Structure 1
Amino acid sequence: MTTLSVIKADVGSLPGHVKAPNKLINEVDRVLEEGKDENKITDYYIGRCGDDIDLIMTHDKGKNDSDVHELAWNSFEEATEKAKELGLYGAGQDLLSDAFSGNVRGLGPGSAEMEFDERESEPFLTFLCDKTSPSAFNLPLFKMFGDPSNTAGLVLDPSLHEGFKFTVQDFYEGKKADLACPEEMYDLLALIGISSKFAIEEVKKKDGEPAASVSTEKLNLIAGEYVGKDDPVAVVRCQSGYPAVGEALEAFSFPHLVPGWMRGSHNGPLMPVSEEEATPTRFDGPPRVVALGFQLNDGKLVGPRDLFDDPSFDETRKKAKKAADYMRRHGPFQPHLLGEDDLEYTTLPDVQDKLKDRFE
C-alpha cells in the first residue's frame, strides 16, 4: 500500500509572514533527499504557500510512521536553524516542542495522511493554505463530496451515487463523529457551518476507502496561547469513483469567508492562487489556497501541475479582492473581526478588568 503524507510548518519567513525563502527550502530538501536515500520515503515534493513549507511525501510505512514524521521534523529543525542564522521572523514558530516524540501530532506541524492501494491511474490534489484555520476546508469539501450542484458525478456517476462519509472533529471536546451523506446531510451542515468549533478531518467512501484528509491541528489549543495561524493542508483523490479534478477545483470557485487573516483574528475571503502568487501581503492576506495536482505511479510523484495558475480563476480572484475591500472597511468591528470566543489573542480581558469599576 502507498501512504501519502503532507506535513507542513512555518519555521521562518521573509519578510514578516510573506514567504519561506529558498535558503530554508534548500535545508529541507537536503534532509528529505537523505531520507529518500535511506528508504525512509519513496518520493517527495516541497511546496510553499505564504510563510509555510509543505512536505508532500510518499512511502509504504502507513500513517503516523515515526521514521517519516521524524524526517519531516528534522527537516523543519534544520530550516529553523537557517532561519535563526538569517534573522528571519518567526524562526521555528510552529515547532512547539524541543524534541521529537513519535510523530508530529501535538508538536505544532500540521499533518494530513491517507493510506491506500494505488489504482491503475491515481490522480490526487494537495491543497495548501496560508492565513486561515482547518475549518476553511469545510465548505469546499462539502461541495466536492456532498453537493451535486458542484459535483455532477454525485448524480451522474454510479460509482459516486451512494455518497461519502465525513469525519467531523470537535476542536474543543477532542472528539470525532462520522456522518454519512446524503442520509445525514442536514446534520452534517449543522455542524460544519460552525467554523470555530467543527472541522472535517476525513472523507471516505461508504466502503471505507479514503477520499480526502485534512490537517486539523489548532496551534492555539495545543500551545495554550496564540503562536500563529494553523494554515491547513488537504489531500483529495480524484477521478474513477471520486470527484473529477475539475469538480474538486470548482469547489474553490467561490472565495468564501474563512477565519484567520491578520493576527488570526479576522474573517476574509479564501483566494485561490498559484504557488508564485501565494505571498499574502495586504493586511497579511487575504487568506490563500494553492492546488497542486499529481499522478502517483508505484509510489513515485509525477508532477505537480499548479492548478490555480489558470485564467479561469481570475474572476474568483477579483471577487476575493472586492470581498477583502468590503471586509477591511469594517476596521476593528465585526463581522471582519472574529467573535470574542474565536479571537486567537485579545486585550479584551485586560480592558474589561481595567474598566470593571466603571460599569454601573
Structure 2
Amino acid sequence: MSKLTLSVIKADVGGFVGHSSVHQKLLDRAREYLDANKELLIDFNVLSVGDDIQLIMTHEKGVDSDAIHQLAWDTFKSCTEVAKELKLYGAGQDLLKDTFSGNIKGMGPGAAEMEFEERASEPVLIFMADKTEPGAWNLPLYKMFADPFNTIGLVIDPKMHKGFVFEVLDLKEHKKVYLNSPEDIYDLLVFIGSHGRYCIKSVYTRDGEIVAVSSTQTMNYIAGRYVGKDDPVMIVRTQNGFPAVGEALEPFANPHIVAGWMRGSHNAPLIPVSIKQAMPTRFDGPPRVVAAGYQICNGKLLGPQDMFGDMAFDRARQKGLEIADILRQLGPFEPHRLPLDELEYTSMPMVLEKFEKGFIEE
C-alpha cells in the first residue's frame, strides 16, 4: 500500500437551530454524496460539531489533492442546497466563492490533512471544535508534545526523548517558522502564547515524520473581514513513539480560555464534551471540543470512539461551566469581550467613526 492520506475538511453550510447544530438531512446528504463518489476514497465518515460538518476521508491522492478538495467542495455545495430548502440559518455561509479554484483553502472551509505510511497499529485522534479559533490548539499541542508534566513519554520513552518540531504560522504576515523542543521551548512560547496571531500548524518528529496537523489557515481578507479560520479541526497520531492516547487527551482535562463564543467576540473556556453534547446553545456556546478516536486498518476508519464521553472528563466540564459563569457576569466588558483591536471587523469601526469628531483634547 502506498502512503495514506487522512483529510479532515469542515464547513458551516447552515445551522439548526441558529448556530447550535446540523440538521440530520444535511448529514445524510453529505454521506450520500461521498458514497456516490467513493471511487476517489478508501473510506470516509461524516460527523458534526455544533453547526459544522466534518468530512473525514482516507485516500491515496496526497495532501492538497485537487480531486479530494473538489469532492469536499461539491459535497458542501450539495448540502447547501438542502440547507436552503429547509431555510436553515446561514445557509452556505462558509462557501465564500461561487466557483471552485482547485483548493479549499481561502474559500471558507477549513482543512487538516496529513500523509504517512500506516504503521502496524495506527490509532488516530481527530479533535473538532466549535465556537472558537485555531489558536485554541496552541496550548493543547504544546502540552502534548513539549510538557513532560502532561506527557511522561517525553521523559521515559526513548523514541520521544529527542523531542519534536513545531511549525508555527504568523497568520497576519503570512509567514512560518520551525522551532524545536526542548531547546527552543522558551522561544516557542513567546509566539504561541499570542494565539490570536501565531498558531501551531503541525508537529513533526525530529526525523521529519508528521504527527499532528491543524486546520489553521492563513487568514484571507474577503468582503471586508478575515475569514476561513474559525471552528478548527486537528489530527493527532498516537502511541509507539508519539504521545499515548491518554497523553493527547490530558490537556483538555483543565479547560483553557479561548476566543470565540457569541459572535466570535468573547473569551470563554473550551469544554471537552461527548459527541452528543456538541450542541452549543448558552450564549451560542460555550466553545466545545470533541475527540473522535479511530484505528486505521489498511486505510479503513474503525470508529469513531467518543473519547470525551468518558466520565473522567466530568470535572473538566463542571470547571468549564464555572469559568463560563464568571466570565458571563462581565457582559460587554473585557476580558470577557475581546479587546477592541480584535473586534475590528464588527460594529466597532462604525461606532468609532460616528464619534470621531466627538472626541476633544483633554
Relative to the length of structure 1, the TM-score reads 0.97
> Partner of 1:27 in structure 2?
29
2:22–2:51: 8 Å Cα contact kept in structure 1?
yes
Deviation at 1:220, TM superposition (A): 6.4
Offset of residue 223 of structure 1: 4.7
SS in 2 for 1:200: strand
Letter in 2 for 1:178: Y
Seen in structure 2, the aligned counterparts of structure 1 residues 341 and 20 have a Cα distance that, compared at 3 Å, is: same
SS of alignment partner, residue 123 of structure 1: strand
Q: Which amino acid aligns with 2:213?
A: S
For residues 149-195 of structure 1, give each alpha carbon's deviation from its aligned partner in whole angstroms, at most 9, with x where no partner exists. Answer: 00000001000000000000001001111000101000000000001
1:10 aligns with 2:12: yes
Aligned partner of residue 124 in structure 1, secondary structure = strand
8 Å Cα contact 1:132-1:261 kept in structure 2: yes
Match of 1:237 in 2: 237
CA distance in 1, matches of 2:58, 2:273: 25
Which stretch shifts more, 102-111 or 209-218? Answer: 209-218
**Alpha-carbon shift at residue 115 of structure 1 (Å):** 0.3
Structure 1 residues 165 and 219: CA distance shift in structure 2, 3 A = closer
Letter in 2 for 1:25: L
Segments of structure 2 that go 5 or more residues without pairing to the other structure are none
Q: Which amino acid aligns with 1:133?
A: E
Structure-2 separation of matches of 1:229 and 1:134: 6
Measured after TM superposition, the shift of residue 221 of structure 1 is 3.7
Deviates more, 1:350-359 or 1:189-198: 350-359
State the AA in 2 paired with 1:257: I
Q: CA deviation at 1:342?
A: 1.4
Match of 2:216 in 1: 216
Aligned partner letter, 1:26 = D
Could you list the runs of 5+ residues in structure 1 that have no partner in the other structure? none
- Superposed displacement of residue 351, structure 1: 1.9
* Residue 131 of structure 1: aligned partner: 131
Corresponding position of 1:303: 303
State the Cα deviation string for residues 230-275 of structure 1 (Å, max 9, x = none). Answer: 1000000000010000000001111100001100110000000011
Mapped partners of 1:80, 1:312: distance in 2: 37
**Maintained 8 Å contact 1:263/1:344:** no
Secondary structure of 1:276's match? helix
Given that 1:265 and 1:344 are in contact with CA atoms closer than 8 Å, whether structure 2 keeps it comes out as no
C-alpha deviation, 1:227, in angstroms: 6.2
C-alpha displacement of 1:330: 0.6
SS at match of 1:139: helix
Cα separation, partners in 2 of 1:6 and 1:201, compared to 1, 3 Å = same
- CA distance in 2 between counterparts of 1:344 and 1:35 reads 41
Q: Is 1:192 aligned to residue 192 of structure 2?
A: yes
Please tell me whether the aligned partners of residues 172 and 218 of structure 2 are also in contact (alpha carbons under 8 angstroms). Answer: no
Instruction: Return closer, same or farther for 1:41/1:222 CA change in 2, 3 Å cut-off.
Output: farther
Q: Quick one: distance in 1 between partners of 2:343 and 2:195?
A: 13
Moved more, 162-171 or 341-350: 341-350
In structure 2, how many angstroms separate the alpha carbons of the residues matched to 1:42 and 1:48? 21
Change (3 A) 1:172 1:4: same
Q: Return the offset for 1:340.
A: 1.4
Q: Which residue in 1 is equivalent to 2:225?
A: 225
Structure 1 stretches of 4+ moved >3 Å = 218-224, 226-229
Paired position in structure 1 for 2:260: 260
